[in-house]
A and B are shown apart, each in its own frame.
Chain A
């Protein structure tokens, strides 16, 4: 299936979880926040939350800003 991750198309196995996506992005264990179709997916749900084809995912972190 295909999902949009941070604006880019990504190929993921059917039913992949948010945790699997984060792992694939080499971001496991980092301090980040995930939104799927403009709704927050709390960290506690990353291992259960299954993504669906066409989902729009945002994976964000804190960077320098004023």
Chain B
């Protein structure tokens, strides 16, 4: 055997959520599109297999004669991930999840998000912890939107959340990953999937999240509010794949100074 230094590459674990393996690491929302047709097309182009929805009173949302969202985004084709968006208390979030489970014939996968205040929509972590505990006790499989605090992420994992979803930046801000260091720490510490949820603005932001080792990215506004959402959905699909490949390939070390790419021997000048 020749002595070659052992190259340590990250393990290529498939994305597994609630016992199901997913090919796509891009999760998408269904809000803020022009209409349901655009929603359907963008989601198809994104390649996403997990799609978030909100739960609201029937007098809000669509016109009576319009098709229902779940007719376009069918629970037979997609894993529907109901969210608790708009909830500011653990109690409202738990109620929303119970309604969602009834709505989706007993499916118990939920995206828990409890918000702190209107301006930043920053996660309210004390209420999130209370809601997560109640939901897990009630048999829900909780994917949790949270702050990028590594200690709280660990706490949520220990409680039994099945995916940790720290924000990259505030919901709908499109600012990109604001604290790569914390996201990296959460990825390092976590045994359950870590997905950046919120804050992605364009393709490079999604790639950065994947290069940091995240298992996936959840986004809505970055696609829905692009000038051409269908094209952006495709860009995001490619960005997620590129970032994942780069992570698995193991990037070169950063250096302060240049290192010539062409040989210095054999020059004729």
Given the complex of chains A and B, what is the CA–CA distance between A58 and B56 in angstroms? Answer: 9
Q: Does B147 interact with chain A (Cβ within 8 Å)?
A: no
Q: Does B39 interact with chain A (Cβ within 8 Å)?
A: yes
Contacts of A34 in B (CB 8 A): 102
Is B32 a contact partner of A66 (Cβ separation < 8 A)? yes
Query: Interface residue tally of chain A, by bracket?
Result: 20 to 34
Q: Which residue of B lies closest to A27 (CB)?
A: B58
A selection of 30 A-B contacts at a CB cut-off of 8 Å is: A6-B58, A30-B58, A31-B103, A32-B58, A33-B100, A38-B95, A40-B99, A42-B102, A59-B57, A60-B57, A61-B55, A61-B68, A62-B53, A62-B70, A62-B80, A62-B82, A62-B100, A63-B53, A63-B69, A64-B29, A64-B30, A64-B31, A64-B32, A64-B54, A64-B61, A65-B31, A65-B53, A66-B171, A66-B219, A66-B221
Over the window 75-103 of chain B, the binary record of Cβ atoms lying under 8 Å from chain A Cβ atoms (1 yes, 0 no) is 00000101101000000000100111011
- Mostly, the B contact residues are mixed
B residues neighboring A (CB under 8 Å): 29-33, 36, 39, 52-62, 64, 68-70, 80, 82-83, 85, 95, 98-100, 102-104, 171-172, 198, 218-221
Given the complex of chains A and B, what is the CA–CA distance between A30 and B53 in angstroms? Answer: 16
Given the complex of chains A and B, what is the CA–CA distance between A63 and B53 in angstroms? Answer: 6
Q: A62-B55, A65-B31 are in contact. Are A30 and B68 (CB under 8 A)?
A: yes
Q: Which 4 A-B pairs have the closest CB atoms?
A: A65-B54, A66-B29, A66-B220, A63-B61
Is B30 a contact partner of A66 (Cβ separation < 8 A)? yes
Q: Which residue of B lies closest to A61 (CB)?
A: B58
Given the complex of chains A and B, what is the CA–CA distance between A1 and B11 in angstroms? Answer: 63
Contacts of A65 in B (CB 8 A): 29-31, 52-54, 83, 85, 220
